[in-house]
Structure 1
Amino acid sequence: MPLDWITVILLIGIGLLLIIVELIFIPGTTLVGILGFILTCIGIWIGYAALGTTAGHVILAATVLIAAVAFVYSFRSDSWSRFALKDQNRGRVNEDYQHALQVGEEGKTVSALRPQGTAIFADRHHEVQTNGEFVAPNTPIRIIKLNQNKILVEEIS
């Protein structure tokens, strides 16, 4: 009789813990959540089978109550905030690199621009892009617009 109670309490406790872990830490429906649900159901079933109908009803009601309180507490309290990733990466690619190019400057493509590729301006390679046109390699080009990290070019006719 005490072994049945210990078995039921352990199965339901481990099952509820796995369900909470699945809800908080593991996104989506995974094996952890399914295993937790199965363990909880087995614990309740053993409670009905080994301890009787009245004890089974008490176990079922207690399990539902404990699960509801645990879910509400785990989502409302700030207990999980220490596990949450709060820092944001606000850096950008090539943020420190400021090219010294000017609108109207001329260069030559190294690779084909389809519409992006590599070009040489003042003996330095730069990633450039066109307005959608394809430009063959070794073609003279001109810078028409400079954004933060984007160099827009056109073919010189």
Structure 2
Amino acid sequence: MTWFILLSLLSIGLILILTEIIFVPGTTIIGILGLIFTGAGIYYAFLKFDPSIAWVILGFALLANFMAIFYGFKSGVWNKFALKEAMTSRSFDGRLIGLEVEMEGKAVSDIKPIGKAEFSDKIYEVKSDSGFISVGTTVFITKLEHNRIIVKN
């Protein structure tokens, strides 16, 4: 009966660790339960058996668990769950098309230091290079960088 309890605890622990690695990676709850069962089996071995036998059982349990972990990484199971695509779209792509440095426009709101200006009958959000610019003032584009429009009056 002692061997049955010991083998049951160690087997359940190993099965739970394999389940964590192969079927539900990343949840950690099943893996922690597997470690608890394995630890309980090793503790039980030290309680019921001679220490030399218990150390051998500990060695076999550690070897089996490390082999399971090694198998999980070597088999490529993680590749099935890994994200392999990246988002390449960006917000405001093409926003600066048709604008040029030194282009003249008109402030349609106070620019302090960010506001709105009109260029070629379109309204854009702009940033002032020279501080406060009041509404209705003529502005000129000084820089176009990273979807930002930098203006001065």
Alpha-carbon distance between aligned partners in 1 of 2:31 and 2:133, rounded to the nearest angstrom: 55
Q: TM-score, normalised on structure 1?
A: 0.68
1:70 pairs with one of 54, 68, 71: 68
Post-superposition CA distance 1:116-156 (Å, at most 9, x none): 4433334433122234x5325526222112235221212x1
Alpha-carbon distance between aligned partners in 2 of 1:111 and 1:32, rounded to the nearest angstrom: 59
- SS of the residue 1:126 aligns to: strand
Q: Structure 1 residues 77, 8: closer, same or farther in 2, change over 3 A?
A: closer
Match of 1:87 in 2: 85
Match of 2:132 in 1: 135
Post-superposition CA distance 1:49-105 (Å, at most 9, x none): 245545533331122112222232323332221111111112222225453223222
* Letter of the 1:65 counterpart: L
Say whether the 8 Å CA contact 1:8–1:46 is kept in structure 2: no
Say whether the 8 Å CA contact 1:18–1:36 is kept in structure 2: no
Matched, 1:43 2:41: yes
Match of 2:9 in 1: 7
Q: Structure 1 residues 32, 8: closer, same or farther in 2, change over 3 A?
A: closer
Say whether the 8 Å CA contact 2:110–2:133 is kept in structure 1: yes
* Letter of the 1:138 counterpart: V
Alpha-carbon distance between aligned partners in 2 of 1:113 and 1:31, rounded to the nearest angstrom: 53
Q: TM-score, normalised on structure 2?
A: 0.69
CA root-mean-square deviation: 3.3
Match of 2:101 in 1: 103
Q: Structure 1 residues 62, 4: closer, same or farther in 2, change over 3 A?
A: closer
The runs of 5 or more residues in structure 1 that have no matched partner are none
The runs of 5 or more residues in structure 2 that have no matched partner are none
Say whether the 8 Å CA contact 1:107–1:122 is kept in structure 2: no
Post-superposition CA distance 1:16-74 (Å, at most 9, x none): 348758xx626xxx777655544432231123324554553333112211222223232
Q: Which segment is superposed worse, 140-149 or 46-55?
A: 46-55
The structure whose RCO (Cα within 8 Å, separation 6+) is larger is 2
Q: Structure 1 residues 150, 66: closer, same or farther in 2, change over 3 A?
A: same
- Number of paired residues? 147
